[in-house]
């Protein structure tokens, strides 16, 4: 029954009551007059109440209005590189095309571009491998980077040459290298597990051989700790792989022909230092600038914190086109954890630790999710919030042509970013970096 | 030589002094301008605040051995709930209620743990807050002090040493008991024994079969669980294996209890300090399992409240 119909009924009833009241008044019947008056008052009260809205309607309206704080809009995403389907059938070792195709599907393009393998491949194969490399990895130019807290004096150019030399322990020279645009996903790590990565002992550090048998998932199969039956949950295909120790990450990196990034490389890719003069350099606190913006990184939030697919939070991309350096999961680096400026005094570690960087989905403080902040973890630790990404030096690869420096997708993702956050000069510097061609590397 | 002066008679002051204000914790009468109760040293601000409220604040005990992580837990809980808008909202009452949150969070942001809570009750941080649960339309007034572990131990071993503890525990409607997982993992039985002593004291304090501690909700929180994955995954099973005494005692004496795992630091290291000796340092802050025990406790209290 419609709202208008209710109104008509109420008005008709009120008219009826008025007639009764009038008739009773005329015939001097007190009881009838009282009944009519009461009926009239009730109907008028109902009409007045209806014009304000009924309690049921008010409840329904309240239900529609969110009682809680407005939810954040979903994070911006970027499309992941196309990955060809992988055939699980055995490949004829003599069929180079099939072998290369399979390795490219497994994203082992860096292995194909290693000089020892590249000499056996045709130009077409190398071109395909380099295309995959440029699609999946970002080029970071060479240069100096400051590790640890950046002294204001060093930034402002107040230090002279001797003072800079004194701080040289923290001033690291980095050669140009490629860094994975995204953290390694469950799907990517599955290829390693399915290819028997846990049985190929050559991929593992000799010191860890006794422990490899113990690197199992929750059902006792070889694999990351939180997988079941040697496989991840289908909905987490594009989530970063977690529950892997530093050694598992290292073995995966070897399998794909890469390595773990050093601390200096990781910081350089994120903070993108720009030397303004001999004594002055600018280093970002976050890949997008110097101010934390929780829309650009998956850090602790009041809901239930959890990891997100690697292509989310596209606005947090670095100048060079590397995604999710900050937030989502901590990332293993190759470096040993040496507590620096963030920890006052000399620390005594319970076990030797490897460095992790970038913060994770459950990192609480903004100052612990900066490019400079480092934490440590037992290299055998398989934590729920530690993943990794790989790197490879430009000098370790055979490149047939000069790779482009800055990813177009990254440019697009940064389109809405604040103009002060990005430094076009720095991006230009990356693009202008001369990259050795195949002949140079061979020479 | 004496000098006579004319002192104005402020009759309203005399009237204020004439009206005693009972301490909210021990009910001892105090003067209106007393900062702390003369009997138990609880802040009188609690009584002043409670007098203006429609609903009487309920008291929740956050107890545990020294270094079990009570201050960090409570500080972190308050901070997380004050940021959390959809599940539960916490609003502190009075500036003194924010001090604990401020001290704890400032220290953790610097990758340090907050300083030890002093033994003197007048130096404890008392948190008086209002908790709203939007989906349940429930508003609760809560008082939760951050008591020193050593003082608790002293009171448990030598009753009436700290009057405030006894009075407070008698009135509490629920308890969050923290047990140090790292010490349990190291095989040190002190945590088990101390928690058992605490549980015994609680059950002795209020024996009433209907409203005594046996019926009040008790959340047993295995703190520092970030350093023990087994505990994190199955706190009940871990307690059964490593804190047998506590587990058994709870089964027998506490009808409404549950084990939880909580942690704040992802990893820890040690640092030698000239002033404090060897102190633990968090390497990063990633809280987990902090809100869940409190939420469970409020669920139980809310159910009782609605029944009442």
Tell me what ipTM this predicted complex has.
0.86
Q: What is the pLDDT of residues A410-440, one digit of tens each?
A: 455 554 444 333 333 333 333 333 333 333 3
Q: Which of A2-11, A240-249, A336-345, B249-258 has the lowest mean pLDDT?
A: A2-11
Look at residue A185 and give its three-state secondary structure.
Answer: strand
So what's the pLDDT on residue A93? 74
Phi/psi of residue A384, nearest 5 degrees:
-75, -10
**Inter-chain contact A350–B269, Cβ cutoff 8 Å?**
yes
With CB atoms and an 8 Å threshold, state whether A364 touches B268.
no
Phi, psi dihedral angles at A171 (to 5 degrees):
-100, 110
B264: closest chain A residue by CA: A364
Give the contacts of A279 (CB within 8 A, at least 6 positions apart). Answer: A154, A157, A158, A159, A160, A161, A164
Contacts of B85 in chain A (CB under 8 A): 68-69, 302
For residue A407, pLDDT over 80 is answered with: no
For residues B283 and B263, the answer to whether their CB atoms sit within 8 Å is no
How far apart CA B279 and CA A281 sit, in angstroms, is 36
Closest approach of chain A CAs to the CA of B109, in angstroms?
Answer: 6
Residue of chain A with shortest Cα separation from B86: A68
Q: What are phi and psi of B36, to 5 degrees?
A: -125, 155
| Dihedral over Cα of B187, B188, B193, B199: its sign | negative
CA distances from B62 to A188, B132, B145, B241 (A): 46, 20, 7, 24
Residues listed for chain B: 308
Query: How many Cβ pairs within 8 Å bridge chains A and B?
Result: 79
Measured between CB atoms, which of A302, A346, A376 is closest to B85?
Answer: A302
User: Which one-letter DSSP state was computed for residue B279?
Assistant: E
Q: What stretch of H or E contains A146? A: strand A143-146
Confidence of residue A59 (pLDDT cuts 50, 70, 90): very low
Q: What CA–CA distance (Å, rounded) separates B87 from B101?
A: 20
Judged by CB atoms closer than 8 Å, whether chains meet at A363 and B286 is answered as yes
Partners of A77 in beta bridges: A312
Answer whether residue A254 shows pLDDT above 90.
Answer: yes
pLDDT at A139: 95
Q: Residues in chain B with pLDDT < 70?
A: 1-2, 7-9, 303-308
Is residue A51 pLDDT above 70, yes or no? no
The domain locations on chain A are 3-64, 96-442
3-state class (DSSP) for residue A413: helix
Range of lowest pLDDT (A130-134, A295-299, A429-433): A429-433
pLDDT at A156 over 90: no
Rounded to an integer, what distance in angstroms lies between the CA atom of residue A317 and that of residue A410? 6
Instruction: Single out the residue of B220, B125, B119 nearest to residue B175, CA to CA.
Output: B220
For chain B, domains (ranges, CATH) are 18-52 (no CATH), 54-307 (3.40.50.300)
Mean pLDDT estimate for chain B: 87
Contact B117, B147 (CB under 8 A): yes
Q: Per the CB < 8 Å rule, is A377 touching B267?
A: yes
- The percent of residues in chain A predicted with pLDDT above 90, rounded, is 50
State the nearest Cα–Cα gap between A375 and chain B, in angstroms: 6
Tens digit of each residue's pLDDT (9 = 90 or more) over B249-305: 999 889 899 999 999 998 999 988 777 788 889 999 999 999 999 999 998 887 665
Across A375-396, average pLDDT? 95
Query: Given this model, what pLDDT does residue B54 score?
Result: 76
DSSP string, B21-33: EE-TTT--EE-TT
pLDDT of A404 reads 59
Secondary element (H or E) of residue B131: strand B125-133
pLDDT at A394: 94
Q: Do B267 and A375 touch (CB under 8 A)?
A: yes
Q: Is the pLDDT of residue A68 over 50?
A: no
pLDDT at position A383 is: 94
pLDDT reported for residue A152? 54
Q: What is the pTM of this model?
A: 0.80
pLDDT tens digits for range A187-243: 999 999 999 999 999 999 988 999 999 999 999 999 999 999 999 999 999 999 999
Say yes or no for a CB contact (<8 Å) between A348 and B111: no
Instruction: Provide mean pLDDT across the span A26-49.
Output: 74
Torsion, Cα A72 A75 A76 A77, to 10 degrees, reads -150
Q: What is the mean pLDDT of residues A391-406?
A: 80
Query: What is the pLDDT at residue A432?
Result: 35
Q: What is the CATH number of domain A96-442?
A: 3.90.1580.10
């Amino acid at each position: 029954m419609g709202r208008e119909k209710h109104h008509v009924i109420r008005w008709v009833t009120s008219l009826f009551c008025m007639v009764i009241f009038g008739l009773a008044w005329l015939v001097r019947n007190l009881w009838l007059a009282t009944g009519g008056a009461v009926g009239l008052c009730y109907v008028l009260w109902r009409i007045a109440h209806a014009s304000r809205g009924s309690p049921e309607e008010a409840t329904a309206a309240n239900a529609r209005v969110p009682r809680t704080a407005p939810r954040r809009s979903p994070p911006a995403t970027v499309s992941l590189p196309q990955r060809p389907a992988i055939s699980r059938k055995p490949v004829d070792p003599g069929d180079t095309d099939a072998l290369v195709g399979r390795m490219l599907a497994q994203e082992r393009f860096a292995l194909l571009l290693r000089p020892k393998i590249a000499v056996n491949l045709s130009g077409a194969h190398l071109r395909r491998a380099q295309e995959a490399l440029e699609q999946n990895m970002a080029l970071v130019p060479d240069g100096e980077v400051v590790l640890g807290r950046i002294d204001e004096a060093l930034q402002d150019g107040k230090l002279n040459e001797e003072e800079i030399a004194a701080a040289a322990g923290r001033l690291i020279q980095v050669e140009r290298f490629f860094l994975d645009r995204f953290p390694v996903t469950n799907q990517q790590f599955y290829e390693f597990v399915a290819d028997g990565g846990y049985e190929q002992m050559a991929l593992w550090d000799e010191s860890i051989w006794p422990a490899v048998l113990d690197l199992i998932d929750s059902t006792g199969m070889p694999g990351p700790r939180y997988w079941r039956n040697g496989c991840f949950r289908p909905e987490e295909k594009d989530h970063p792989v977690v529950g892997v120790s530093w050694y598992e990450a290292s073995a995966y990196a070897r399998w794909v022909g890469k390595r773990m990034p050093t601390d200096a490389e990781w910081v350089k890719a994120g903070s993108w230092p720009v030397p303004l003069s001999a004594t002055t350099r600018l280093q970002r606190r976050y890949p997008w600038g110097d101010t934390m913006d929780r829309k650009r990184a998956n850090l602790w939030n009041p809901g239930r914190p959890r990891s997100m697919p690697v292509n989310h939070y596209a606005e947090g991309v670095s100048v060079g086109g590397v995604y999710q350096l900050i937030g989502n999961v901590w990332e293993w680096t190759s470096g040993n954890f040496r507590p620096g400026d963030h920890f006052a005094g000399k620390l005594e570690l319970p076990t030797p630790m490897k460095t992790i960087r970038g913060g994770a989905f459950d990192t609480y403080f903004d100052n612990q999710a900066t490019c400079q902040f480092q934490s440590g973890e037992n290299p055998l630790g398989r934590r729920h919030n530690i993943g990794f990404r790989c790197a490879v030096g430009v000098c370790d690869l055979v490149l047939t042509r000069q790779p482009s420096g800055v990813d177009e997708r990254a440019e697009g993702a940064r389109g809405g970013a604040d103009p002060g956050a990005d430094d076009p000069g720095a991006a230009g510097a990356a693009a202008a970096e001369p990259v050795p061609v195949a002949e140079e590397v061979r020479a | 030589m004496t000098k006579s002066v004319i002192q104005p008679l402020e009759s309203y002051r005399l009237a204020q002094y004439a009206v005693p204000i009972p301490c909210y914790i021990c009910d001892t009468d105090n003067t209106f301008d007393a900062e702390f109760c003369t009997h138990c040293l609880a802040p009188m601000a609690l009584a002043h605040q409670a007098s203006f409220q429609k609903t009487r604040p309920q008291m929740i005990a956050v107890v545990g051995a020294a270094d079990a992580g009570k201050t960090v837990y409570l500080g972190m809980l308050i901070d997380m709930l004050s940021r959390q808008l959809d599940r539960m909202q916490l609003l502190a009452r009075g500036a003194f209620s924010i001090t604990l949150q401020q001290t704890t969070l400032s220290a953790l942001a610097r990758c340090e743990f907050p300083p030890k809570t002093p033994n003197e009750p007048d130096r404890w941080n008392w948190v008086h807050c209002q908790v709203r649960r939007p989906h349940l339309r429930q508003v609760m007034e809560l008082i939760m002090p951050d008591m020193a572990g050593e003082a608790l131990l002293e009171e448990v071993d030598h009753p009436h040493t700290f009057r405030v503890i006894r009075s407070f525990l008698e009135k509490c409607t629920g308890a969050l008991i923290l047990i140090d997982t790292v010490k349990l993992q190291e095989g040190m039985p002190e945590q088990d024994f101390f928690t058992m002593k605490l549980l015994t004291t609680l059950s002795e304090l209020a024996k009433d079969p209907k409203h005594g501690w046996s019926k009040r909700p008790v959340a047993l929180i295995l703190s520092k669980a970030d350093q023990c994955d087994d505990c994190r995954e199955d706190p009940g099973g871990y307690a059964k294996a490593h804190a047998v005494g506590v587990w058994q005692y709870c089964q027998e004496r506490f009808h409404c209890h549950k084990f939880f795992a909580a942690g704040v630091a992802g990893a820890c290291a040690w640092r030698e300090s000239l002033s404090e000796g060897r102190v633990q340092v968090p390497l990063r802050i990633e809280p987990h399992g902090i809100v869940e025990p409190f939420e469970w406790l409020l669920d139980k209290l809310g159910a009782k409240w609605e029944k009442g």
